[in-house]
Amino acid sequence: MSLVSVQGLSVTFASDKGPVAAVRNVSFDLNPGEILGIVGESGSGKSVTCRALLGLLPRRATVGGRILYDGRDLAGAAAIQAVRGREISMIFQNPASHLDPLMTIGDHVAEPLRFHFGLSAAEARAEALKLLESVRIRDAAARMDAWPHQLSGGMKQRVLIASALACKPRLLLADEPTTALDVTVQAGILQLLRDLNRESGLTMALVSHDLGVIAEICDRVIVMRGGEVIEAGLVRDVVTNPQHEYTRLLIGAQPGRLPQMAEPQEAPAGLFELKDVAVHFPTRSGGMVRAVDGVNLSIHKGECFGIVGESGSGKSTVARTIVRLITPTGGRVMFEGKSVGDLAGADLTAYRRAVQMVFQSPFDSLNPRMTAQQTIAEPIWRHGLASKSAAMARALQLMDMVELPRSFATRRPRALSGGQCQRVGIARALALSPRLLIADEVTSALDVTVQAQILRLLTRLRKERDLTVIYISHDLTVVRKFCDRVAVFQGGRLVETGATADLFASPSTGYTRDLIAAAPDMDQAMAERA
Amino acid sequence: MTDVVSPAPVHPAAPRFRHGTIEAALGAALLLAWLIAAFGAGVFAPYDPNALDLVAMLTPPDAAHWFGTDHLGRDVLSRVIYGARIDIWMGFAGVIAPLAVGVTVGLIAGYFGGLTDTILMRIVDITVAFPFFILVIAIVGVLGPGLVNYIIALALVAWVAYARLVRAEVLVVKRLEYVQAARALGFSDPVIILRHVLPNVLGSITIYAWTDAVMVILAGASLGFLGLGAQPPTAEWGVMIADGQPYVLQAWWICLFPGIAMVTLSLGFILVSDGLSRRLRVSA
């Protein structure tokens, strides 16, 4: 018999514009001991479905259908409260915001034990220590009295898992548990979840936008889109033989399945030279953060240069230094024989036109008060390249170039999707006809299918406009497909650099090897599990 | 959905209006009524607000004088209507002057940061350290009584609240990527501040300003009461209450009606502020 049976679940949210159906007639079963993956893109209803199981929806949600847990109907607050925490528990995407900063790690894990089982403080503490050890927190005894801010993101997620497992639940719901984490940390958490499942037969539902993650640890998968389940089955069957057209699209958009877009050059000519660049920030306590230290790089004309690294590796700082949003505290950035730091007046303006940047967050990178057309036109007339009306006309051409329908010209960012916002951002960056385009994590906030479109667009623009591109990403699989050469950063330092194919085939440092191994890739995961 | 019966919806039907619409509309209606009264004072007021009629002094409300007359026989209704001109003007001018100063300072301090920020914010701290009303009274005392000097005093004292609010918002907005993008595009600082930062920090300022107007009107009336604001015989509500105070036991109407006027005008401002903040919070 299945542990959980969801029958005809529907969730509707009241809004100013009338009811919005977030989940429609969703039915699935969770068998004891399995890991079920729920995959879908933003707005597919996967998180809402997961939260509905624990009654964690906001008050304006109306829930229909039935949820049976172990044969019992979870209708009404009392029935849900009876299983919440004890039988079913949940972990979330952002571990930092789910830990109380004023409670120690030990207290976090001990609290559910005291609340649900009425253990004494000493008993709960002893039990908490065992739990922290079981989620592989090293030196758990010493960490019991640590505060959440003293732990890394991966450690916080482990603490959250430990407190979710405190009451020995039979079902663990994991809502994007590794999305906010670096790939190497993500690999560790996924390994932990898999071990918990194998060792104690813990049933899990793993919600993720990433088929690579699902493929690593799930037995079965359901694919959601627009609030409905469009396909369900064993992961192997769904990946190798998808039935629904959208599933095929989703699988085809996986970074590992993208076509090779890189074209290494024959005779490279230098464009940029970073010489011993360092960016140090003073901290409040009088120390020094070495965000970037001793970086030497050269970037060739017309190439696509990838910069990869985990959070805090200094990759974005390097980008901002090249654009001269940040002044390096040491070393020089050389562009066509001139030091960028010394540019002023007309030279600086010319440099600003030559080097442009596209940012990570689709919504934050556009002024919310300006329409798409105004945003794209502004740099043209502000730089005196055309009159305001001519610039507005040129903006429409740029919209064509980034494949954004002209009918979107008068829309503000709030009325655009993430991918459309990024297209506006790209058009704005291209408005001044730059020679170098820096793309800083431009697709990391986007769905994979949209990511594939944006990557294709950038590849086309690169060729058409003879652009040099610096592509910054945490996603090695994308970089492998998209970039000619790669530099790997760690802790503010350049670890290694080389032609993409060579670097991936034979990484020369242990760190690069770890990064490559940790990058989730659907096909690789399937091959390894076979 | 087919045969599955859902539990009764816990949530009542969606509201017919967006959050805050009703408050904002009520407040706007109140303000509009007062604006009409103020602009049409010549039409609506039955008497000259300053015409003395010593025969009819301290007349209780009756058909000839709906709100009665004061100790000099002036018609209270006419004085309340004409008083709206002064008090509404005071409300707007008394907000705009400190707002202009405070927003400018806040933008500069927040955007440029560093030493500029430190110096400007220490000036704010010093100003805040003095009791607000005492400082206003002191400045008006030095400049001489009168409404214009009251507004000047407000500009010198009340700007600090706006400066702090704007600076805090600027610190958030300037880290956003569209401001970074504007810098990367080579736009000048004034362009970035005025076109990309200012419009995106105005929301909370606007809400605060509507509430601030109430404070300005009440403080202005208090100053009028103390003889430091509008000067007699000007028909200003605070002055009228001060005038009526010696007679409050025999002739309650002299103080009551300007008091009610002040409450309704303030309510209008508060409702608009409340409605706007709810609407902005929902749609933000």
CATH superfamily of A270-529: P-loop containing nucleotide triphosphate hydrolases (3.40.50.300)
Q: Whole-number mean pLDDT of chain B?
A: 85
CATH number of the domain where residue B143 is located: 1.10.3720.10
Please judge whether B187 and A62 are an interchain contact, meaning their C-beta atoms are less than 8 angstroms apart: no
Q: What is the pLDDT of residue B281?
A: 62
Tell whether B190 is within 8 A of chain A (Cβ). no
The answer to whether position B174 is within a domain reads yes
- The residues with which B230 forms a beta bridge, in sequence order, are none
Q: Which of A448, A440, A441, A438 is nearest to A256 (CA)?
A: A448
Residue B17: pLDDT band (50, 70, 90) is low
CA distance B231 to chain A (A): 45
The secondary structure of chain B as a DSSP string is --SPPPPPPSSPPPPSS-TTHHHHHHHHHHHHHHHHHHHTHHHH-SS-TT---GGGTTPPS-SSSTT-B-TT--BHHHHHHHHHHHHHHHHHHHHHHHHHHHHHHHHHHHHH-HHHHHHHHHHHHHHHHS-HHHHHHHHHHHH-SSHHHHHHHHHHHTHHHHHHHHHHHHHHHTTSHHHHHHHHTT--HHHIIIIIIHHHHHHHHHHHHHHHHHHHHHHHHHHHHTTSSSPTTS--HHHHHHHHGGGTTT-THHHHHHHHHHHHHHHHHHHHHHHHHHHHHHH-
CA distance B17 to chain A (A): 8
Share of chain B above pLDDT 70, in %: 92
Q: What is the ipTM of this complex?
A: 0.80
Nearest to B177 among A352, A359, A383 (CB): A359
Q: What is the pLDDT of residue B13?
A: 41
Give CATH for domain A1-87+172-252: 3.40.50.300
CA distance A85 to A80: 10
Tell whether B144 is within 8 A of chain A (Cβ). no
| Whether B81 contacts B41, CB under 8 Å | yes
Nearest to B177 among A7, A75, A361 (CB): A361
Helix axes B198-225, B237-244, angle to 10 degrees: 20
The answer to whether position B116 is within a domain reads yes
Q: What tokens appear for A129 in the block?
A: 């220590």
CA distance B156 to B166: 17
Q: What tokens appear for A259 in the block?
A: 């076509």
Please judge whether A14 and B14 are an interchain contact, meaning their C-beta atoms are less than 8 angstroms apart: yes
pTM (2 decimals)? 0.82
Q: Is the pLDDT of residue B284 over 50?
A: no
| Whether A208 contacts A38, CB under 8 Å | yes
Mean pLDDT per segment of 10 residues, for chain A of length 530 residues? 89 83 92 93 88 86 89 83 87 85 90 88 91 86 87 87 88 89 86 90 92 91 93 92 92 87 76 90 79 90 91 88 90 88 88 92 90 95 93 94 91 89 94 93 87 91 90 90 92 91 91 88 82
Q: What is the pLDDT of residue A408?
A: 92
Residues of A with Cβ-Cβ distance to B181 under 8 angstroms: 357, 359, 365, 425, 428-429
Cα dihedral A66, A69, A73, A77, rounded to 10, equals -90
- Structural domain tally of chain B? 1
Q: Is the pLDDT of residue B10 over 60?
A: no
CA distance A78 to B123: 57
Query: For residue range B156-210, what is the model confidence (pLDDT) as tens digits?
Result: 999 999 999 999 999 999 989 999 999 999 899 999 999 999 999 988 888 889 8
The answer to whether position B16 is within a domain reads no
Please judge whether B14 and A432 are an interchain contact, meaning their C-beta atoms are less than 8 angstroms apart: no
Query: For residue range A343-358, what is the model confidence (pLDDT) as tens digits?
Result: 888 899 999 999 999 9
| Whether B98 contacts B158, CB under 8 Å | yes
Q: What is the pLDDT of residue A25?
A: 92
Q: Domain of residue B211: give its range.
A: 21-40+69-283
Please judge whether A325 and B183 are an interchain contact, meaning their C-beta atoms are less than 8 angstroms apart: yes
Q: Which of B279, B236, B199 is nearest to A369 (CA)?
A: B199
CA distance A451 to chain B (A): 20
Residue B11: pLDDT band (50, 70, 90) is very low
- The residues with which A49 forms a beta bridge, in sequence order, are none
Domain ranges (residues) in chain A? 1-87+172-252, 98-168, 270-529
Q: Do domains A1-87+172-252 and A270-529 have the same CATH topology?
A: yes
The answer to whether position B90 is within a domain reads yes
